[in-house]
Amino acid sequence: MVTLQKFTNLLSLMAYFKDETICKDYLETIRWNGELKCAYSDCGHNKVYRCKTRYKCAKCERIFSVRVGTIFEDSKIPLQKWFAAIYLITSHKKGISSLQLHRDLGVTQKTAWFLLHRVRTTLGFNTGTEKLTGTCEADETFIGGNEKNKHKVKQTKGTQGRSVKTKSPVAGIVERGGELRAKMVPDTTGFNLKSFIAKNIQFGSTIHTDEWWGYNGLAAAFKHGVVKHNEGEYVSGESHTNTLEGFWSLLKRGVVGIYHSMSNKHLQKYIDEFVFRYNSRNFSEAGRFDLMLNNIATHLTYEQLINSRGNRKLETKQGTLGI
């Protein structure tokens, strides 16, 4: 087994992962930590035999490699290039485009695009499940093009303000000094915003928002502070949403400057990418790299990726929250 490395830059990563064998050994250490088990999810037996560069399960008798059941499965790209791509994706603050990645790795743009989406599929798994506590912020934003920048014949009327005709609403919450979470929502009505908050923030915590009516009623379950943006007020004592505003700014700079455009189908994966980098902001480059590798046990096929129906649905069911 290999020991986990402390990479400081891309050159040191490439110098260490100089061949496929070292990459496989490292991946085996990250994935199984010396306790080999069947890579097939419907088996998972812990008695496995080594067969040269592959493994054989003593129970189901299937032969597999360390790639099976991961984002690397069925990929002809060497693990060295995969590792370089993961490092670049997790290290670039505003992301990296498929065009840039295809030039950096020497693969086709189509391959780079597919690779990026496979990696993004794993990044959403790093979001914690425990509710946020302490002092939190909640805010919402809209992702989409500005109508005034479109040709007149392509402009859609009635898209000012909070219209969702051509833009996608995204709700966000953050624990100050802690974790951030963001999710696409059908709209910014009180039901959707407060559902997201109730699911992710411990009742009784302090939460700061702007004066948008969708947050009305939060005081019944939280210590609710309000900052009045419409009156030019951005800080009122401890009340502000500047932490989330900074994240929205970074996300939108990535959308406009790096990715340029994205469909609703894939938008949540892009959001997950930025959330991952934010939540791992205090990690070293090597720590962020290993954190991502710890969540590779998912497999996305090209057919699933381009399926027009997508694999994420927004909840629109109405109900009573009690807040």
* pLDDT for the residue numbered 316: 36
CATH of region 135-267: 3.30.420
Report how far residue 34's alpha carbon sits from residue 316's, in angstroms, rounded to the nearest whole number: 45
3-state secondary structure 194-249: HHHHHHHECCCCEEEEECCHHHCCHHHCCEEEEECHHHCCCCECCECCHHHHHHHH
Is 60 exceeded by the pLDDT of residue 1?
no
Bridge-based pairing of strands 223-227 and 206-210 is parallel
Q: DSSP characters for 62-122?
A: -EE-TTTTSTTTT--S-HHHHHHHHHHHHH-TT---HHHHHHHHT--HHHHHHHHHHHHHH
Per-residue pLDDT tens over the stretch 57-88: 887 878 888 888 899 988 999 999 999 999 99
CA dist., res. 14 & res. 12, Å (int): 6
pTM metric for this prediction: 0.85
Helix (H, G, I), strand (E, B) or coil at 41: coil
β-partners of residue 143 are: 168
pLDDT band of 312, cuts 50, 70, 90: very low
Tokens of 111: 């391959």
Check residue 141 and report its DSSP letter.
E
pLDDT digits (tens, 9 = 90+) for 144-179: 766 555 555 565 665 555 555 568 999 999 999 999
Extents of the domains making up the chain = 135-267
Of the listed ranges 100-109, 122-131, 155-164, 296-305, the one predicted with least confidence: 155-164
Asked if pLDDT for residue 125 goes beyond 90, the answer is no
pLDDT at 167: 86
Tens-digit pLDDT profile for residues 254-287: 988 888 878 888 999 999 999 999 999 999 888 8
CB burial readout 172-204, b (16+ within 10 A) else e: bbbbeeebbbbbebeebebbbbbbbbbebbeee
Which of 85, 23, 38 lies closest to 297, judged by CA?
A: 38
Average of pLDDT values for 200-222? 96
Q: What pLDDT was estimated at residue 124?
A: 82
Reply yes or no on whether the pLDDT at 241 is more than 50.
yes
pLDDT-above-90 percentage for the chain: 50
